[in-house]
Structure 1
């Protein structure tokens, strides 16, 4: 991210979730664990199309509350290097 001398983003504030779809091109994964901020129609559609399990808690205000793996969600910060 580019910031000015005060630490303010140079190009304005942009939500992280808006950067996820372009980065998913060619992604091979069984699951996509992320925080509620990534609960967007665009991202959910991409995950469905690519048959990647959605491990994102739904935003409480959504009418449809989909199920997700709480176990995988809790483990989202664990990174393994092989």
Structure 2
């Protein structure tokens, strides 16, 4: 059952990544380019979460 608690977090991460058109449509032909874009999107998401005005 503890796995189900983490499932929501994982689903939110993937839905956030799908908001990025380049990742969702997979314009990159090389796996390394796609991985780099996913990494950048995750970094951007973390930075936006850390510097937001929300408590």
* TM-score of the superposed pair, with normalisation by structure 1: 0.20
Which has the larger helix fraction?
2
Which has the larger strand fraction?
1
* TM-score of the superposed pair, with normalisation by structure 2: 0.23
